[in-house]
Amino acid sequence: MRPAAVPALDGQVQVRVPPGTQPGTVLRVDGRGLPRYPGHGRGGLNVTVIVDIPRQLSPWQRLLCEQLRAEDADTKGEVGQDAHRSGGRLRDWLHGGKRERIKNES
């Protein structure tokens, strides 16, 4: 798992994004948010996962995506079997997202 550099109030913070993390998931980094009133420590930094999906794929990338979809279909029984669950993910995202606590990397 490769950490991602995320801007914070006092510079960059390295955040580990667990495998399988879905777009819209909110990861919380304790101790890197706003200072607490009356000055005892800091709150958490909430990081929302945004996935940048390319608009155009090369023929090789398209082939790899098709192979991945075929592999996914073999393990799940059919392509898109979990599509009914995507509405739940969207609902979670619209209502504040799923929140996960992670340890501070820096």
Q: Which residues does 4 contact at the CB level (< 8 Å), separation at least 6?
A: 14, 15, 16, 17
What one-character-per-residue DSSP string does 12-29 give?
Answer: EEEEE--TTPPTT-EEEE
Residue with tokens 């398209």: 62
Domain boundaries, the chain: 3-53+89-102
Span 67-83, average pLDDT: 67
Per-residue model confidence (pLDDT) at position 90: 53
Span 6-21, average pLDDT: 91
Q: How confident is the model at residue 81 (pLDDT cuts 50, 70, 90)?
A: very low
Global pTM?
0.56
Q: Judging by beta carbons within 10 Å of its beta carbon (0-12, 13-18, 19+), is residue 13 exposed, middle or buried?
A: buried
pLDDT tens for residues 33-47? Answer: 999 888 789 999 999
Per-residue model confidence (pLDDT) at position 83: 45
- Kindly tell me if the per-residue pLDDT of 26 is higher than 90: yes
